[in-house]
Amino acid sequence: MPPTEHLHFRPNQTLLFDADDTLWENNIYFERSIAAFISYLNHREFEPHQVREVLNKIEREHTMEHGYGLQIFRRSLVHCFEHLSDGPVDEEKHARITSFVDSIASQEIELLAGVAETLPALAARHRLILMTKGNPAEQRDKLMRSGLSAHFAAVEVPREKHREAYADVVVRHALDAGNTWMIGNSPKSDINPALAAGLNTIFIPHSHTWVLEHESLASTPPGQTSLRLSAFSELGSLF
């Protein structure tokens, strides 16, 4: 990826933003919930990392079949408990597992560093669209509670962020792909499929990106630009 020190892009670009772990903290709350779940399970044979491997497999299967969101996460925890426990998940155990998920739902929105200051400035010069996968009701609720909704011209919550989802957004919003950028923390959902759809990308890594979003960054196709930034605030000097 090229250095960014001397880059500056003209106004009226379209900036697509991921939400979770790009605009606000998200996965750290799931990680805390999973740690509490593994401690509660207290498996006699499996080490915590082995339990996590089982949960990862179950989550991967459930998200592929049912999508994303807290309800699917709860189902994955219950399924994992049933798979690894000697007995069924009775009412008391189900309530305890549910409490781990409820702790996420009640979490206040915590904007990442630089977002509150940088996003309004970007919105004054460019067209911003939120492009985030997940449960539509949950994602829109988080956006409302974040205080950032006024900065976005549109909100897109596809079930999965693959090449076709980006191509669809380009068509429906009449975007010029050469002046459109996808900005996010996930190689799997934000960078690689956006590049495949002909968009430019900006990768802002997050130290706690969900393990199921890990993937090697794809090569940048000719005629496109792919940048890597260390902080959200650096967008202000680029755009």
Range of the domain at 66: 28-105
Residues 117 and 226 in one domain: yes
Which residue type, as a one-letter code, is found at position 10? R
Give the domain-ending residue among 72, 105, 138.
Answer: 105
On whether residue 193 sits in a domain, the answer given is yes
- The number of helices, as runs of H, and strands, as runs of E, in the chain is 9, 6
Which of 163, 183, 194 minimizes the C-alpha distance to 228? 183
On whether residue 2 sits in a domain, the answer given is no
Q: What pLDDT does 88 receive?
A: 76
Residues 120 and 233 in one domain: yes
On whether residue 97 sits in a domain, the answer given is yes
On whether residue 197 sits in a domain, the answer given is yes
Residues 143 and 178 in one domain: yes
Q: What pLDDT does 76 receive?
A: 95
- The rounded distance, in Å, linking the Cα atoms of 136 and 104 is 16
Question: What strand order describes the sheet that includes 14-17?
Answer: 154-156, 127-131, 14-17, 180-184, 200-203, 226-228
Give the domain-ending residue among 105, 128, 143.
Answer: 105
On whether residue 83 sits in a domain, the answer given is yes
For residue 107, give Cα distances in angstroms to 25, 67, 149, 207: 10, 21, 18, 19
- The rounded distance, in Å, linking the Cα atoms of 145 and 126 is 23
Residues 120 and 209 in one domain: yes
Residues 38 and 94 in one domain: yes
Give the domain-ending residue among 62, 86, 105.
Answer: 105
Residues 183 and 217 in one domain: yes
CATH number of the domain that residue 68 is part of: 1.10.150
Q: What pLDDT does 174 receive?
A: 97
Residues 96 and 201 in one domain: no
On whether residue 69 sits in a domain, the answer given is yes
Residues 99 and 135 in one domain: no
On whether residue 8 sits in a domain, the answer given is no
> How many domains does the chain contain in total?
2
Residues 116 and 203 in one domain: yes
Residues 117 and 46 in one domain: no
CATH number of the domain that residue 223 is part of: 3.40.50.1000
* Residue numbers in the chain where pLDDT is lower than 50: none
Residues 93 and 191 in one domain: no
The helix (run of H) or strand (run of E) holding residue 129 is strand 127-131
Q: What pLDDT does 8 receive?
A: 85
Residues 19 and 33 in one domain: no
Q: For 181-231, how does the pLDDT look when each residue is reduced to its tens digit (9 = 90+)?
A: 999 999 999 999 999 999 999 999 999 999 989 999 999 999 999 999 999
- The rounded distance, in Å, linking the Cα atoms of 103 and 160 is 25
On whether residue 1 sits in a domain, the answer given is no
In sequence order, what are the beta bridge partners of 111?
24
* This prediction's pTM: 0.91
Which of 183, 184, 166, 185 minimizes the C-alpha distance to 175? 166
- The rounded distance, in Å, linking the Cα atoms of 127 and 153 is 7
